[in-house]
Amino acid sequence: MVTANRVYVIQVAMDEEAQPFLEAAGEVSEPVRIGGAVHRGLDLGGRTVVLVTSGIGMINAAGATAGAIHRYGDDVAIIVAGSCGGLAAGVSVGDVVVGTDTINVEADATAFGYVPGQTPGMPASYSADAEIRAALAATALDGAVVREGVMGAGDKFATVDIAHELRESFPGLLTIDMETVAVAQTAHSHGAAFAVARAVSDLCAPDGTEFETHIDDAAERSARVVIAALGAL
């Protein structure tokens, strides 16, 4: 449930993903480094939020989320923003994907009866907060499709061969990135709300050139959806 005291934390991995939020903010506080993450307070349309730039990868993401939860209190909501790779048929560069659930594509304890993607003792997937997810999904974005679905994450940048394996092992995944599930699991462990809206920057091409071409546009589209949703919460 959304409360009046809730602190919204927008978490991104890269400076490129942080930039659209900084440009949209009326005021930006001085950056504070907590562990490896950089925290900034932003005024977005009269609402004060925290922007956390974690660094790339699962461990950086988990550490940044834990630091934010401990710094800002129990009633914190983490919204993951930025870019992702498209996996599913029909997903296009520029689409914004709002996660219903997220899965750790590198977890494999199937030898002990767990499903692919499930870490022993943890859920098979992590569901987004229903109210925040609904606000994200309801955002109308000129020039882009906003989709809902399951998102995967792991510590590998997904190129063609990796994407092929992921489609076989996790046929329901719309996208893949390198942070979201780490944020979700950390939030789950602390009882914090979690949601995600990332834009597709690439379709898991043989190299990183497609990602580099579209990262700025993907970051901007993701930010527009998140900022609009915050205005509705």
- Which tens digit of pLDDT belongs to each residue from 72-128? 987 999 999 999 999 988 899 999 999 999 999 999 999 999 999 999 999 999 999
Catalytic, 17? Answer: yes
- Token pair for residue 13? 């991995």
- Fold of domain 7-232: Rossmann fold (3.40.50)
Closest of 63, 65, 73 to residue 187, by C-alpha: 65
Domain residue limits, the chain? 7-232
Residue of 17, 101, 179, 220 marked active site = 17
- Check pLDDT > 70 for residue 139: yes
What is the structure's pLDDT at 83?
A: 96
Active site residue 210: no
Calpha distance 135→57 (Å, rounded): 27
Please write the tens of the pLDDT for every residue from 143-180. 779 999 999 999 988 778 888 888 988 999 999 999 99
Q: CA 99, CA 124: separation in Å to the nearest integer? A: 15
Catalytic residue among 129, 179, 202, 220, which? 202
Residue 3 pLDDT > 70: no
**What pTM does this model have?**
0.94
